[in-house]
Amino acid sequence: MNFRYFCNVKFLAEIEILPKKGLLDPQGKAVTHSMPSIGLNNVNEVCVGKFITMEIEAASEAEATATAETASKKLLANLIMESFHIRVKAI
Amino acid sequence: MNFRYFCNVKFLAEIEILPKKGLLDPQGKAVTHSMPSIGLNNVNEVCVGKFITMEIEAASEAEATATAETASKKLLANLIMESFHIRVKAI
């Protein structure tokens, strides 16, 4: 029996990925320009990015955060154009 | 001079949009299956959605939240397939 896995807890990681400030965000611009057409004239600076949730089995919150960070850096975010922010909580 | 606009405060609204539970999320499935290839065997149930931020000028947090809700319902989220969650803070 693998004691390591027996000890693991499930965490929910929420990863927010947004285009870096100053870089082109055509989707955000398009949404900003569409706002008046649905009657909203007080909305500006819309940025459109990705929101990713995942379940992580880990021994601690720090380990779960490290896993989410690896996933973001290696697979989910394009670090040249995007920045990411991770929240982790036990579930 | 328009006193209403003079009184307004800027808020940052963050909107998380995710596919509803039980509905097909092919992008999430693809990411889940890719995790072992980057050395992560403890990740499951990946969901991929959208993350949208916007600046809203409003008289109160409640008004800003209502604006973000209108934008989500009318333009940003597909309510048949997606659910959304809004956070608003003054900036």
Inter-chain touch B57–A42, beta carbons under 8 Å: yes
Q: Are B9 and B59 in contact (CB under 8 A)?
A: yes
Nearest-angstrom CA–CA distance, A36 and A45: 13
Residue B19, pLDDT score: 96
Nearest-angstrom CA–CA distance, B52 and B16: 7
Nearest-Cα distance to chain B for A36, in Å, is 10
Residue B1, pLDDT score: 47
Residue B7, pLDDT score: 74
ipTM value: 0.89
Nearest-Cα distance to chain A for B47, in Å, is 5
| A17-47 pLDDT, tens digit each | 999 988 889 999 999 999 999 999 999 999 9
**Domain CATH code at residue A77:** 3.30.1280.10
Residues from chain B that touch A75, judged by Cβ atoms under 8 A, are 31, 34-35, 38
Q: Which of A75, A82, A88, A91 has the highest number of chain B CBs within 10 A, making it the mutation to test binding with B?
A: A75
Count Cβ–Cβ pairs < 8 Å, chain A vs chain B. Answer: 109
Residue A1, pLDDT score: 47
Secondary structure (DSSP) of A17-51: EEEPTTS--HHHHHHHHHGGGGT--SEEEEEEEEE
| Band of residue B81 on the pLDDT scale cut at 50, 70, 90 | very high
Nearest-angstrom CA–CA distance, B36 and A32: 38
Q: Which residues contact B9 (CB under 8 A, 6 or more apart)?
A: B57, B58, B59, B60, B90
Nearest-Cα distance to chain B for A80, in Å, is 18
| A51-75 pLDDT, tens digit each | 999 999 999 999 999 999 999 999 9
| B13-71 pLDDT, tens digit each | 999 999 998 888 999 999 999 999 999 999 999 999 999 999 999 999 999 999 999 99
Task: Identify the closest residue of chain A to B25 by CA–CA distance.
Answer: A52
Q: For chain B, what is the domain count?
A: 1
What is the rounded average pLDDT of the residues A12-17? 98
Residue A65, pLDDT score: 97
Place of tokens 């403890």: B42
Place of tokens 């209108």: B70
CB contact A9 to B (< 8 Å)? no
| A74-86 pLDDT, tens digit each | 999 999 999 999 9
| Band of residue B6 on the pLDDT scale cut at 50, 70, 90 | low
- Residue B3 predicted with pLDDT over 60: no
- The boundaries of the domain holding residue B72 are 3-90
- Residue B5 predicted with pLDDT over 80: no
